[in-house]
Amino acid sequence: MELARSVGKAFSPLDEELGLVGSGLTPRAEESLVRLASWMPFEQAREVLNDLVGVQVSKATARRATLGAGVAALARLEEEAQRLKQEVPPAPRAAAKQAMSADGAMVPLVGGEWGEVKTLVLGEVTRNRRGEVCTQQLSSFSRLSTAERFEEAALVETHRRGVEKATAVCAVQDGAEWLTGLVDYHRADAVRILDFAHAAEHISAMGQAVISADSTMLDDWLVKQLHALKHEGPSQVLADLRALQVSHPDLDVLGDHVAYLQKREAQMQYPTFQAAGWPIGSGCVERANKQVVEARLKGAGMHWERDNVNPMLVLRNAVCNQRWDETWKVSRLQRQRLRQQQRADRTQARCEQALARFLKLFLWCKPLTLRAPPGPVPAPTNHLTSAPLEPPPGSHRPAANHPWRRPIVARPKEGALAK
């Protein structure tokens, strides 16, 4: 018995009615699989899915479904960023005081390379019950990209949080150069604060360098310097550091640290910042690096294709920001729209092919005839005299010798002629 010929890809209107996007799973099973794979490796995600709901899938299916959902959500976010740049709609109302912090974390890529994932954390600045300054309602935004592209992409999150509508914003950073452009792009008037722990690292490095050179230094030198920096400001601390540099001219590293801190003296006015109710630490973005990026993308033996990092980061931001339902809806609608576009493209291509075949068949079946170019119509003539037949002057009736006026003569039959 001859096997039936494949009919190729087809579309059922019921697919959209049920929310199917071509993964071979029910909408609920696919969502559960992708959400699990956003928290754990693909192999573990498929095992947990089987244990919980009894749906068996392969590791490749888990990977394909997860990355497909992330790619769709990423495409929608990029479209939204372009729209915000062009239309510049007003931002929603938000908290009066907000804080923003950004930092980078390295993730392993295929081929032995490493890429820096940049993360921006936004939050509301408030005080807890004990009156301590804290940052709450945190949300993160992460991308593997250049600093310029990250500035534009993060517009989606800063607009959603209403950063431009806030009364005052502070930017607590670690002093990296690319962070200056990020703050200028989203909130140029933000209060710039150098992360206190980062400043303390430079002061500690200077102390360690002096101790390594067999120099005598009090054990509590670092504690006193940090206490003075936090409660009195950077003026006296910088003076002490410059004196330390002068007393050890052979240690070039001291000059580098002093130059770094002097350049950021305005960002180290910690007593003023604390009195204004601003945080002086960027611990929130450090936690985001570990929770959002490294917990999923920096596991043992993991190496990521560069194009797969951002789709995973979109899903990680969704689960860590507790905005999974919204992100999943956006991803599903994007994939449905893509399927509709692909279906329309296939339909148009089939119509064009059918039209081309019809025209080819039509031209092949139609005979090619050559016609003489039209010329002047000859005047009617008399078949007996070859003289033109002209009607009488002033009359529209045929002339007397016109063939129409000849008498009708009956033609004899063939049998009569034979006789």
Pairing, β 168-173 against β 97-108:
parallel
Place of tokens 């956006």: 330
CATH 3.30.420 residue spans of the chain: 91-194+281-305
pLDDT in tens, 138-162: 999 999 999 999 999 999 999 999 9
pLDDT in tens, 81-115: 999 998 888 888 888 999 999 999 999 999 999 99
Provide the token pair at 325: 């339902």
Name the CATH code of domain 91-194+281-305 (choices 3.40.1340, 3.30.530, 3.30.420, 3.40.50): 3.30.420
Q: So what's the pLDDT on residue 419?
A: 47
In this predicted model, which residue has the larger pLDDT, 11 or 77? Answer: 77
Distance between CA 142 and CA 313 in Å, rounded? 6
Q: So what's the pLDDT on residue 15?
A: 56
Q: What residues have CB less than 8 Å from 375, skipping those under 6 apart?
A: none
Provide the token pair at 132: 């301590």
In this predicted model, which residue has the larger pLDDT, 337 or 49? Answer: 49
CA distance from start to end of the chain? 77
Q: So what's the pLDDT on residue 417?
A: 47
Q: So what's the pLDDT on residue 418?
A: 47
Distance between CA 120 and CA 190 in Å, rounded? 15
Distance between CA 414 and CA 403 in Å, rounded? 26
Place of tokens 């500690």: 204
Closest Cα to residue 331, out of 344, 345, 314, 346? 314
pLDDT in tens, 31-48: 999 999 999 999 999 999
Closest Cα to residue 135, out of 278, 267, 339, 236? 278
Distance between CA 200 and CA 242 in Å, rounded? 16
Q: How confident is the model at residue 247 (pLDDT cuts 50, 70, 90)?
A: confident
Mean pLDDT, residues 265-290 = 94
pTM confidence score? 0.77
Length of the chain (residues): 419
